[in-house]
Amino acid sequence: MDVTLINPFLDATIKVIETMAMTKVSVGKPAVKQGKGTWGTVTGIIGIASKGLSGNLVLSFEEPCILAIVNNMIGEKHQTINEEIVDAVGELTNMISGGAKAALSEQGLLCDMATPMTVVGRDIEIKQFSSAPVISIPFETEAGKFVVEVCLKRDAKKA
């Protein structure tokens, strides 16, 4: 596991969730993802690309966890997954990838981000095609869990 590629996503996740949702986050141990289903009920995906790096960032939230995060962000009391919650996952995916992009660029690893997509539903078969492993990082909040999955490879074709 290449921690120089993983840590920027881990740090950006903590910063965005703690700042935007005023939600304390603790991080578990990163591991290679087993299985090929969506981990949580709402999943955000964004592609990462440049001449030197390519892959995807995936965030996947348990329902109570994302409800608490988004309700904290926007000051509402949604009790089920609806369009507003899904849109917020797209926005969080954007913000976390933006933070990671900035941190990667400080290491001289330049990349650009695609636009976010969301998938709703648990254990939907979703698979990444890369020579790099999918690293799954578990996070815990008071309201529940989420995972961040990073699959990123350095490409030979440098800029």
Q: Which stretch binds a copy of itself (CB under 8 A): 8-16, 27-35, 110-118, 136-144?
A: 110-118
Sketch the per residue contact string, 78 through 97, with a copy of itself: x for CB under 8 A, - otherwise.
Answer: --------xx--xx-xx---
Nearer to a copy of itself, 87 or 142 (CB): 87
CA nearest to 42, candidates 83, 71, 94, 97? 83
CB contact at 8 A, 19 and 120: no
- Spatial distance between the Cα atoms of 40 and 76, rounded to a whole number of angstroms: 22
Q: Is 50 in the site for a copy of itself (CB under 8 A)?
A: yes
- Spatial distance between the Cα atoms of 79 and 40, rounded to a whole number of angstroms: 16
Residue with tokens 């369009």: 83
Residues in the site for a copy of itself, rule: CB under 8 A? 45-51, 54-56, 86-87, 90-91, 93-94, 111-121, 124-130, 151, 153
